[in-house]
Amino acid sequence: MASDNAVFVFHMIAWLQQFLLPGYWFWFTPKVLSRPMFIALAAVFGAFIAASIVIRAAAARKRGSLYWKEGAPRVASPLLWTGLLGLLYVWFRQEQIYFFSARFWLAALAAVFAVWMGLAVRRIAKDIPKRAAEFAEKARIEKYLPKK
């Protein structure tokens, strides 16, 4: 029983070591995705697109909230583009198109998504409270001004 665990750990470490090799990431014609991996990637990227559509629809219904009005497009845009480019990557991978099916594109897409989403969230957290305070101050001042 103990030797089975040792064998499993050895195979797991060997499997994880392949991710550290440049040849794994920069092999331009990797194999076709297995059926479960194909379904999983297509579902994840499809969910990104669906989430983008739902966020935009919810923002259209909640017109009064500044967070929804200005924050939703900033979050929905990276979701939409990552979903579309991810589905394009899955198609390239299934068709085994040279260079475009390389694994580094998936890593690059994940990195760009993380940076883009981080910048969007940072901007939402930083800018929208300032703008909300400005709008509140403007409304407070306009309350005392005559209407046209």
pLDDT tens per residue across span 6-26: 777 777 777 677 766 777 666
Task: Report the 10 Å Cβ neighbour count for 18.
Answer: 10
Number of domains making up the chain: 1
Nearest Cα neighbor of 47 from 72, 78, 80 is: 80
Q: Distance (Å, rounded) from C-alpha 6 to C-alpha 14?
A: 12
15, part of any domain: no
Nearest Cα neighbor of 80 from 55, 43, 114 is: 55
23, part of any domain: no
Q: How confident is the model at residue 130 (pLDDT cuts 50, 70, 90)?
A: confident
pTM of the predicted protein model: 0.75
What is the model's pLDDT at position 112?
96
More confident residue, 143 or 74: 74
Q: Distance (Å, rounded) from C-alpha 40 to C-alpha 26?
A: 22
141, part of any domain: no
* Residue located via tokens 């966020």: 55
More confident residue, 81 or 135: 81
1, part of any domain: no
Query: What digits encode the pLDDT tens for the residues 48-58?
Result: 999 999 999 98
Q: Identify whether the C-beta of residue 85 lies closer than 8 Å to the C-beta of residue 109.
A: yes
124, part of any domain: yes
Q: Which structural domain, as residue segments, surrounds residue 93?
A: 30-131
Lowest mean pLDDT among 10-14, 50-54, 68-72, 77-81: 10-14
